[in-house]
Each structure stands twice: as C-alpha cells, then as structure tokens.
Structure 1
Amino acid sequence: MSDERDDTAIVWFRRDLRVRDQPIFDAAAARARRSLAVFVLDPRLLEPAGKARRTFLYRSLPDLDAALGGRLLVVKGDPAEAIPKLAGAVGARSVHVAADVGPYGRQRDEAVEKALGDRDVELVRTGSPYAVAPGRITKSDGEPYKVYTPFSRAWAQHGWREPADTDAATVDWMDPGEKDGGPRAVKIPDDDAPDAELPTAGEQAALDQWAAFVDEHLTDYDDLRNRPDRPATSRMSVYLKYGVVHPRTLLADLGGSGKGPTSYRNEICFRDFYASVLWFFPRSARENFDPKFDRITLDSGKSADEKFRAWADGRTGFPAIDAAMRQLRGEAWMHNRMRMAVASFLVKDLHLPWWRGARHFMELLVDGDLPSNQHGWQWAAGTGTDAAPYFRVFNPVTQGERFDPQGDYVRRWVPELAGIEGKKVHQPWKLAEPPADYPAPIVDHKAERQEALNRFKAL
C-alpha cells in the first residue's frame, strides 16, 4: 500500500515548548513522513518581553532541543519571511502550529499564512495554549461572554479533550543540517538574566512542580491560595505561559469535586475567559474595556511619577504593598492575591492609570501573559469585563493583616521590618519608635479612597 503523505512538514514551536501532549505532532505525522522542528526568535516579541521572560525562554529551548534529539532548528527574524523560506528549502507542503490568539500573534500568523499560500503551502492550526480555544465558547446567539460566571458554566459544559499521547518519538524528525538553503541556524542566546531567582525551565521541571503541588497542596488550595506567606499555590503560570505544560494535562490530574480541585479548575477557567475576551476585543489589551472610564480623572506630572516610582520600588510605606513589589523584583513573580492588592493601590490610592502598572508587570514578570495580566489589572481597576466594582478599594493594611496574619511575608521581603513581631509589622508607623530606614506611608488611604470614589461619581 503506497504512502501518499508529503515528504516533509514543518512543526513550528511557539507557546508549546514540550513534547508530551502535542496534538500538532499527530497532525504533522498524518501529513508528512518527516518533520522539521523550528523555533523562530522573533525580535518583535523578544525586545519588549523583559529579561525574566527572555531568560526563561532561552533556558527552555535547550530542554526542548534535547527532547527532540538535538534536532530543533533555531532561526532569527520575521516569521513571515523565515517560515516560508524554510518551507521552500525543505520542500514542505504544510506548516503545523498551535493557534496563537493574541493580537500580535494573530496578525503574524495571518502574514505567515499569506506568504505560505503564495508558495502553495498550508498553515495548519491544531489546538491552542488553552483548555478551550478562544472563540469556541459563545452565547446561543453567537455573542461573546463578557461576564465570568456564565462563561464558566458554558466552559464546563463544553469540556476539553484528553491529553494527547505523544512524545518526541511520535514524529520522524528531520536533521536541520539536511535543509538546502533558507534562514541559517543561530545559537540559542545566552541568559539575559535579571536580578531575580527564576523557576527551573523545562518540561520535566514543570511536571515535577505540578506533581509536588498535587501531592502537597491541592487539597488545601481553596483554603490557602490567598495566603502569600504560605507556599500553597502551584507556581504553574510560567509553564502555562510558554506551553511547557498544557492546561488539559493539569485538568486531567485534578479529579474529584473537592474544594481544592474545584477552585483550581476555576483558575484555569479564568485564564481561558481572559483569553476569550482578548480574542473578541483585542483593543482591551491597551484600552479600557468599559469606555466610560476613559473620562475618569487620572494623575500625571512629577508628583505622580514620584509616587509611581515609590510603588514600583516597594517604598510606599505600606508593608504588604512593599513586600509584594519587592517579591516582583526578587522572583519575577508575585502572589495573585498581592497582584490584586498592589493594582488596587496604584489605581485607587495613587490615582494612576492601570495600563502603567500593567506595563511594569509585563516588564518584570517571568509569567507575564497578556490576556491574564491586562484583564487582571482591568478587574482591579474596575474598568474591565466582570470587573470589581469601582467602589471596591482594597485596604492595604487589612489586606496584609488578613492574608499575612503573622507578618511572615512582610518580614521576608522587607528586611527593614524584620525585627517587628506579629501583625504589628503591618502598621509600623504606630510603633513608639518606627524603623528609621523605612518610609512613612506616602498617602492617607482613607482620604485617597474617598477621592477615588469622588472621581468615580463624577463620571
């Protein structure tokens, strides 16, 4: 029986740096007898990414290359030029990818698809980095969901596929040295490491981290996930960002209907929800989802810049806020509860635009993911879909006292306060002798909360 498959296909890795659970492998193997594995270092993505994300990527690529038997071709340049040239060099009739849903990714893929079409080569999209690909879940009339709760019900009813049974052996990988022409191979760049302790890169590291979380913390996840002083979260966000593990792999391991697994499933659903919102409303990456907030008064000028710098440096005089901002610099990561608290503080206490804080996060976070970051900020600012009501203003003191009750989180990240015992660390200005090397609060929270409410009412 003859094999009517093409001789060669291209597997183009992007946000799917793994070999397990890779449905694009099956799609490529069904189309061609062998495949060329490619990663394109795209300057338009790398330059704004920030040191933490670039370094994690650079550390992930050698792991992927090893899993592929040393057959990952790394090139650099505009994918709309590089991928078609590679297809021509190896005689590929199809290029296989997981769909990208971000504004830039969609534009890039449309440009690649057009250039490939000019060569009679097909761009084949199989799956996405999400449990349910954005655009798949809509209301009965085809309109997108703008509120999380009804989306989550539809998401649960929609379901998701089981993890694909793949590994590197699923595909016969072409030796990159066999290609005749096309973009030249480049060396994976050296680390561009920030002054932060980054998580271990690679697929096995991701799976080990996940297994440890399931064994040690999943049962208590619902009770402890808001505690920044406890190691109770999964730390899987960076691995999901780069597709080192797929969310359906996590969903398959959750099992049961206990509070812990249910709460974790909700977080995966939130990730899909924000990706869906960005899919249908790409402008929301940069603009208020609710345009009425375009008219709210925001601060600017020298004083505003000084307050922003105090916030960014963790020198606001509010210990929980400062601990979180210093954790961001120290680990290129921040606990989710504290992301909400510092966002509320920037927007509601300092009256600065959410997108300024969102941009700062994207510069420093190793797990910086556009849909989750931008819409998490819009939630805190009250400007987005399913947003926190604008009149909900997080109190920076009570957030610390409630979720870091003994002050351990603050003492870890704010050494100036290490000698203050218990919850007194959250209000050092009340001590008979406040620490001389720690600033007083830069604002009066009660007064600024009222000012935020006044500005909202003025709309």
Structure 2
Amino acid sequence: MSPSLLWFRRDLRVADHPALAMAAENGPVLAVFVLDPTLVSTSGRPRASALRDALLALDEAIGHRLCVVRGDPATEIPRLAEAIGAGTVVVSADHGPYGTRRDAAVERTLAEAGRGFVRVGSPYAVTPGRVLTANGTPYKVFTPFRRAWYEHGWPAPADTGSESAEWLDPAEIALPEHRPDTDRPLRDLLRSTLGTGDSPLEVCESAASAQWADFLEHGLPGYADDRDRPDLDATSRLGAQLKFGTIHPRTILADLAALGPTTGLGTGLAESRDAFASELAWREFYADVLHHYPSTAGGNVDVRWDRFPWVSGDHADEAFAAWRDGRTGYPIVDAGMRQLLAEGWMHNRLRMVVASFLTKDLRVHWRRGARHFMDHLVDGDLASNQHGWQWTAGTGTDAAPYFRVFNPVTQGKRFDPEGDYVRRWVPELRGIAGAAVHTPREGGHGDYPAPIVDHAEARREALALYDSVIRGA
C-alpha cells in the first residue's frame, strides 16, 4: 500500500466525499490545499475570508493534518506527491475554464514522473457534460435540461467522514527543498494570504449541516410561497456552502427524497420540495453551459448581442457608481445593493431586479455588474453569476428574454408589500409607512436621491435598441 494525495478545492468537507473514499483505499492520505495566486487574486474580500474559515474548520476536522501551501499547483502538487511517494493524486473534478486548464497542467507534470491524477465526483449532483439532448448536444434552455437532469439521476451520498482516512501529518514530511510556508502556523499563513476580516457568513461543514437541517425542518414547508420575499427570511442561504463544497447538493437531494412520496406530503410541502430542487437544477444547468461554452464566462451566450450598444464613458461610469452605492433613487434597487455591500449576500429576486436595472434601465454592460457581484458575494460562483446576469440582460440562455424588463416599483410592492425590507436597508426612508416607500420621489426624500432615470422612458429606449438588434440578426 502506498500513500495518496487528496487535493481539496471546492469540496471543503469530509462527509459525502467520493474522492476521499478513493484516496483512502490504498493507504494513508495527505490532505492538501493550494493557495493558488491566480484564484486568490480574483476572490473578493468576503469570499477570501469565508475560504480562510472553511479551511481552518477542515483542518480541525481531520486532526490538524491539512497541508496548505502557496504557489502554482502545477509545481506544488507534484512536489508534495514526490515528498510522500504518492502514486496517485485524487481530486473532485473541476469543470470551470481555469480549473480545467490548471488540472490538465498538473496531470501532465505528474504523468512525467509516473504518477496518476484521478478525478472522482464533482461539486454537482450530475457532473457537467453528462446531460445531453437526444442528438448528443448540450442543452441551451433550462426547462428541458431540468427534465433530463431529473431523468439522469445521481448516486446516493458517499459514506465518508474524518475517520475514513489515515491522515498524514504535514509537519513530518521531508520536502525536497525548504518551504517557509510549511513552517508557519496555519492560521497565520491563511490570514497573511486571505486577510484578517470577518466573514459575513459562517462557512464550514458543521455550519452547513446545521443550516440545512434547520431549513429542512422549518423553512422548506413555506418555501414555495415565500421564497421571492426579501422581507422574509425564507430562503436557505446555502449558496456559500455549496460554493465552497461544505455541503454537497447530492446530500441535499437525498434528504429531499427521504421526505417520502409526493402524494403523502401535502400540496405545500410537495411544491416547496420541487421548487428547491429546481433551484439546485439551475445551478447545475449554468455549470453545464459553462463547461460546454467556456467563452461565456465573459462573452455573450447569444452572440447576436455582441452588437448591442451599451453605454460607455463618463455617463456609464456615473450610472454604475450610483447603482453600485445604492443611490439610484429606486428604493428596492438601492436596498439590495446596500445589503450586498454590508452582508456579502443578496436575495435572488433582488439579484434579478438590480441586474435588470443596470443593464436595461441604465444600459451598462452586464459584465460590469457581474464583476461587482463577484467582488462582494460570499457565494460568488462563476457559472451561476455570469449566466444569471446574462439571463437577465437578455444575452444568455433563456429562449426569449430580451423584452423582459423588471419594473423596480412594482417588484418592490409585490415582493416587499409592507416596505419592511427597504426600510431595513435604506434608513433615509424609515419615516415612510407601508408600500408607499417603494414609490420614487421626483425631488428625493431628505438625504435620499431622486431617481437617476425615468423607468418607463428607459424601458422604451432599451426595448427599441433590443428590437433593432433582433431585426438586424
């Protein structure tokens, strides 16, 4: 028997971990995480803080045996594999554009030394690329993808835990050359690399399990009715846990299935279970699209929209700054943007509302908004973020989304009917009672600004431009 190296990435847990099960089959295991400068440099502060805390929790879970190094994985992983005499490096597959290139580089370097690189599982219930049309092509529309995704199915959760492996102590590894990072206490290393700030959300395996258990019992029954209400705490807020893999969607889906046959659940709970599973399917759909079309991380899914006349220059910069800072004069938009800055999170309904406002009312390119979200969201996930923005902007996967323009006033009145959410995040408006808080004021309200754009006029202009692109297709 020989040791294996288990390289953690977006799977920072020990439960339901197929790669861990395989790594432990052949002998002791070295658990490794690489602080890759390419990824660290693109992680916003809230996400970097969450990563730090998740790594510290993982280290504790495996008896303080997590080996963390800084550098290029194509150098560090082969170095560590050589140091312990590992014949195999085991990972959960990464299907993102950068992760795919990175893993290919690591695999080539390992192969030159006669070592294996084995991908087992992924961060998804169904690995991207597995669900295809009858013609063997990728899906570009969600609803048929979801149907095929359900039909494909997924395996039961893997039976793993911290005791599943004999963990090697990184302090006892004789590295080929002196590595100062390995001599530093892990907390100090992570703080120097990922920052010392507090994470807006507790991201770790124990928190994820408790969060899911609480939602399953108390939040799921009302989810179908209340999930679009930002004034209510009616969503699971598991996005960050799924992002870092502190819980696997397969675990969640297994628990949903364990509730029993739909006929015995009652209408409300059955609808809620379906609605929640559908949200997981959206996440997997966007990962599948990015896997097949990696250029859509920054380019339009529908290339017709490459011709759309987004605004630019000083006007675009000023509009973007007002949107970014929550000073547009539209209360529901400003409340959402302020929550994002304060908590590193925003309700999904409001993500669509503020994205529509930036791209269609202000006609600022969706990429600027997507980048801002990735800078501040703890749950910032490349596939979900970029394609969610494109869905709203009209450049993405929906069959005919370009004419959908969210009205920020009616959205506010419908989904924050008493105005409680707006008053929570826009203190300048706390003196306005009820739904009246959602009506923008031409002259502003005290320190609160007047609307920076007339929504009805902006909508007409945007639709005319979208139509001109369609006619010219």
TM alignment of 1:161-240, pairs within 5 A: 161-182=155-176, 183=179, 184-185=181-182, 186=184, 187=186, 188-190=189-191, 192=195, 198-240=200-242
Q: Which residue of structure 2 lines up, in the alignment, with residue 446 of structure 1?
A: 456
Q: Pick from 391, 401, 410: which aligns with 1:379?
A: 391
Q: Which residue of structure 2 lines up, in the alignment, with residue 78 of structure 1?
A: 72
| Structure 1 SS opposite 2:363 | coil
TM alignment of 1:370-449, pairs within 5 A: 370-386=382-398, 389-429=401-441, 435-449=445-459
Q: Structure 1's 227 and 133: CA in aligned 2 closer, same or farther, altered over 3 A? A: same
TM alignment of 1:130-145, pairs within 5 A: 130-145=124-139
One-letter identity of the residue aligned with 1:102? G
Cα distance in 2 for partners of 1:160, 1:35 equals: 27
Cα distance in 2 for partners of 1:129, 1:79 equals: 19
Cα distance in 2 for partners of 1:402, 1:193 equals: 40
Q: TM-score scaled by structure 2?
A: 0.93
One-letter identity of the residue aligned with 2:162? A
| Structure 2 SS opposite 1:219 | helix
TM alignment of 1:109-124, pairs within 5 A: 109-124=103-118
Q: Pick from 285, 295, 301: which aligns with 1:283?
A: 295
| Superposition deviation, residue 25 in structure 1 | 1.6
Cα distance in 2 for partners of 1:377, 1:158 equals: 27
Q: TM-score scaled by structure 1?
A: 0.96
Q: Which residue of structure 2 lines up, in the alignment, with residue 340 of structure 1?
A: 352
One-letter identity of the residue aligned with 1:321? V
Query: Residue 241 of structure 2 contacts residue 247 of structure 2 at CA under 8 Å; is this kept in 1?
Result: yes
State whether structure 2 residue 21 is matched by structure 1 residue 9. Answer: no
Cα distance in 1 for partners of 2:342, 2:173 equals: 43
Q: Which residue of structure 2 lines up, in the alignment, with residue 307 of structure 1?
A: 319
Query: Residue 31 of structure 2 contacts residue 168 of structure 2 at CA under 8 Å; is this kept in 1?
Result: yes
Query: Residues 172-220 of structure 1, C-alpha deviation per residue, up to 9 Å, x if partnerless?
Result: 11111221114552534226366x8611121111111111111111011
| Superposition deviation, residue 252 in structure 1 | 1.0
Query: Residue 419 of structure 2 contacts residue 437 of structure 2 at CA under 8 Å; is this kept in 1?
Result: yes
TM alignment of 1:246-285, pairs within 5 A: 246-255=248-257, 256=260, 257=262, 258-285=270-297
| Superposition deviation, residue 427 in structure 1 | 1.0
Query: Residue 317 of structure 1 contacts residue 441 of structure 1 at CA under 8 Å; is this kept in 2?
Result: yes
| Structure 2 SS opposite 1:389 | coil
Q: Which residue of structure 2 lines up, in the alignment, with residue 58 of structure 1?
A: 52
Query: Residues 148-182 of structure 1, C-alpha deviation per residue, up to 9 Å, x if partnerless?
Result: 11111110011111111110111111111221114
Query: Residue 28 of structure 2 contacts residue 165 of structure 2 at CA under 8 Å; is this kept in 1?
Result: yes
Query: Residue 95 of structure 2 contacts residue 128 of structure 2 at CA under 8 Å; is this kept in 1?
Result: yes
State whether structure 2 residue 252 is matched by structure 1 residue 242. Answer: no
Cα distance in 2 for partners of 1:254, 1:421 equals: 40
Cα distance in 2 for partners of 1:308, 1:193 equals: 29
One-letter identity of the residue aligned with 1:154? A
Structure 2 alignment gaps of length 5 or more: 263-269
Cα distance in 2 for partners of 1:355, 1:348 equals: 13
Query: Residue 34 of structure 1 contacts residue 171 of structure 1 at CA under 8 Å; is this kept in 2?
Result: yes
Cα distance in 2 for partners of 1:281, 1:46 equals: 24
| Structure 2 SS opposite 1:220 | helix
| Structure 2 SS opposite 1:218 | helix
Cα distance in 2 for partners of 1:388, 1:164 equals: 40
Query: Residues 259-307 of structure 1, C-alpha deviation per residue, up to 9 Å, x if partnerless?
Result: 0110000001111000000000000010011000001111001111001
| Structure 2 SS opposite 1:248 | helix
Cα distance in 2 for partners of 1:141, 1:292 equals: 24
Query: Residue 314 of structure 1 contacts residue 322 of structure 1 at CA under 8 Å; is this kept in 2?
Result: yes
Cα distance in 1 for partners of 2:448, 2:310 equals: 28
Cα distance in 1 for partners of 2:213, 2:431 equals: 36
Structure 1 alignment gaps of length 5 or more: none
| Structure 2 SS opposite 1:107 | helix
Cα distance in 2 for partners of 1:388, 1:399 equals: 20
Query: Residue 21 of structure 1 contacts residue 246 of structure 1 at CA under 8 Å; is this kept in 2?
Result: yes
Q: Which residue of structure 2 lines up, in the alignment, with residue 322 of structure 1?
A: 334
| Structure 1 SS opposite 2:221 | coil
